[in-house]
Amino acid sequence: GRNACLMMGYLSSEGELIGVDISDEMISQFLRKCSDFPNARIVKARIDRPLPFKGGFDKAFISFTLHGFPQEVREEIIRNAFEMLRDGGTLFILDYNEFNLREMPLYLRIPFKLVECPYAFDFLRRDWKGILADNGFGEFEEHIFFKYVRLLKAKKRRVDGGKDRKGGLVPSEEGLRRGTSVRLRDG
């Protein structure tokens, strides 16, 4: 709810913000905090299942969500975001940066290990630009906050199984729907 309300300040009056959540508590929070915005709504749905939005969005934003899922579910979420975006649309992922937990200072590492779910440790080791590239995204930008948090921006490439504007191969629709990537960072 809080992030959605903050983003509303960047939308024109024609823009629309649609939140997706399965938690009744988070939906209530969204409704409370965004009630003043007529162009904001929330849908109760699972983000790891096909969503009723196809190619109509300019932007998708995933905030501190991916690290809490197993990798195959993360990739399903990425594919759903891909399906929701127009060609050239932008995906933003705000979550943990890729880092080696052993190199984290002890005063941060201990709370991280105590608080985070097991999937978060796997998330840290993944090559997210590579995974996104395997799923039809490119033109990456990133902003790192406090070394351990990253806002990763990626553009949806044209999907036709041909070449994109920069000459790189673009996966076909069928290629995007098959399998999962297994890219890992060393460390």
- Give the domain CATH number at 93: 3.40.50.150
For residue 17, being part of any structural domain is answered with no
Radius of gyration of the chain (CA): 17
Domain that holds residue 74: 46-177
> What pLDDT is stored for residue 150 in this prediction?
95
For residue 22, being part of any structural domain is answered with no
For residue 10, being part of any structural domain is answered with no
The tally of domains found in the chain comes to 1
Residue 64 has pLDDT above 50, yes or no: yes
> What pLDDT is stored for residue 11 in this prediction?
72
- pLDDT-above-90 percentage for the chain: 55
Mean of pLDDT values over 161-175: 42
Alpha-carbon gap, residue 104 to 59, rounded angstroms: 32
For residue 19, being part of any structural domain is answered with no
- pLDDT-above-70 percentage for the chain: 82
Residue 1 has pLDDT above 70, yes or no: no
Task: Tell me what the pLDDT averaged over the chain comes to.
Answer: 82
Residue 159 has pLDDT above 80, yes or no: no
Alpha-carbon gap, residue 55 to 180, rounded angstroms: 22
> What pLDDT is stored for residue 179 in this prediction?
35
pTM exceeding 0.85: no
> What pLDDT is stored for residue 12 in this prediction?
74
- First-to-last alpha carbon distance for the chain, in angstroms, is 35
Residue 138 has pLDDT above 60, yes or no: yes
Residue 46 has pLDDT above 70, yes or no: yes
For residue 7, being part of any structural domain is answered with no
The full 3-state SS of the chain, as one line of letters, equals: CHHHHHHHCCCCCCCCEEEEECCHHHHHHHHHHCCCCCCEEEEECCCCCCCCCCCCEEEEEEECCHHHCCHHHHHHHHHHHHHHEEEEEEEEEEEECCCCHHHCCHHHHHHHHHHCCHHHHHHHHECHHHHHHHCCEEEEEEEEECCCEEEEEEEECCCCCCECCCCCECCCHHHHHCCCCCCECCC
Residue 93 has pLDDT above 70, yes or no: yes
For residue 157, being part of any structural domain is answered with yes
For residue 25, being part of any structural domain is answered with no
Mean of pLDDT values over 92-96: 95
For residue 14, being part of any structural domain is answered with no
Alpha-carbon gap, residue 38 to 17, rounded angstroms: 10
